Chain A
């Protein structure tokens, strides 16, 4: 029997955005109407998850300033990407403040003009020949991760006649099991578009929005090179059950 002495703090579904959030129009046909089926007791199927320590990273998988130019089909033709150079860093911790080591953190983003390198993105801003927009890394022993990239630009999208996404980086974290799996977005401190964004506004509690804001950290910036933004990720906390049949 696997992992029966393990369980996680219940996910607060009022803190996360609801499935049905009509201000974000695509959620209307894509949200279940039935209540979620609750599992009275999580099983090994939910309490286990992948460990990516043996996934072989490329030397610049966490460096978006360099990783796209390594694409062999470009034969070294790509230069450095356009835009504000930034370091994005932080810690992955659980709800008890315990670091989550060796966990996979992945991210993707638009370029400085607000366009994604995706075949379906036809926004009029140009693609940047030096920028792919994807990174991944594993946290270290203390749960730290770090990426080097450029600040993505805001872009318009067809939700309302004049909806704009604030600058944001999509962030994906695994945590110790599939119960801790989380995809979110890091927004940038002080961005006036944050309170106007229908996707941000799927969240009811302003304190929950604050958990998605990357903070400018001048002490960690690199003079004459990169500004730094700190973004800590909190995944579900693991409870130990000391008694059988608790």
Chain B
């Protein structure tokens, strides 16, 4: 089969199109408001759950920090999570009170935080039959990141489920496991979980290959 955009190949299987960094201006394409640009009628953004969604409404926030300890102010993140019953809702529809998919970006202001408004996900079954602890899949894109980094956010107040999670417990280092656990905060009567993502060096977040 002829490789698209390329010379013919004798391989039976096509190669994936190569990845490139999303660059410093990813916002004009995928996070229009963050670029200071006009938005369209329907955008994919960070309000994954609205009042009326089943489950506990939460906010999930954090920063992205580079190997120098500096804030990454131009990161773009995508989130994918199950609903409160542990079921993925593939159909993205802004009319629904909950969507499994959301997007956010770190900001160019002082705090430089990303934020997702969502519900706490329920546990999802692992192929082994065990339950995985509630988690949110996060993908991180930014200038200088050549292919997106994939991680998971787990919840501090799910200690028992976290200890039994077949994915989390496979990470050998207990210290590194902690990089995936979001800390619970309460602010203005609302529950908020914080996960700061460290791209490199001390406290480096665990990133997954799948």
Contact = CB atoms under 8 A, between A and B. Distances in A.
Contacts, number: 300
A101 interface: no
Contacts of B128: 41
Interface stretch (A81-89, A180-188, A218-226): A180-188
Interface string A39-51: 1111111101111
Contacts of A234: 3-4, 14-17
B85 interface: no
B94 A55 contact: yes
A207 B94 contact: no
B187 interface: no
A141 interface: no
Given A26-B144, A29-B68, A120 B28 contact: no
Nearest to B136: A45
> Does more than half of chain A's interface fall in helix, strand or loop, or is it mixed?
loop
Nearest to A115: B25
A209 B15 CA distance: 11
A95 B176 contact: no
A127 B94 CA distance: 32
Interface in B48-92: 66-68, 70, 72, 74, 78, 80, 82, 87-88, 90-92
B156 interface: no
Nearest to A121: B25
A205 to B, nearest CB: 8
A26 B67 CA distance: 11
A118 B27 contact: yes
B125 A211 contact: no
B67 A96 contact: no
Contact of B209 (A38, A56, A209): A38
Given A55-B44, A134-B28, A211 B6 contact: yes
Interface residues of B, number: 89
Interface string B166-210: 010011000010000000000000000000000111001111111
Nearest to B144: A26
B206 A21 contact: no
A212 interface: yes
A48 B87 CA distance: 10
Nearest to A203: B18
A30 to B, nearest CB: 4
Given A16-B146, A199-B21, A108 B208 contact: no
A145 interface: no
B20 A37 contact: no
A209 to B, nearest CB: 7
Given A106-B30, A184-B19, A199-B20, A44 B125 contact: yes
7 contacts: A13-B209, A15-B16, A28-B144, A43-B126, A94-B14, A95-B13, A119-B108
Interface of A: 1-2, 4, 9, 11-13, 15-19, 21, 24-34, 36-46, 48-58, 61, 71-73, 90-91, 93-97, 106-108, 116-121, 132-134, 170, 172, 178-179, 181-185, 199-200, 202-203, 207-215, 230-237
> Top 6 A-B pairs ranked by shortest CB distance?
A108-B29, A26-B144, A232-B4, A30-B144, A50-B101, A17-B146
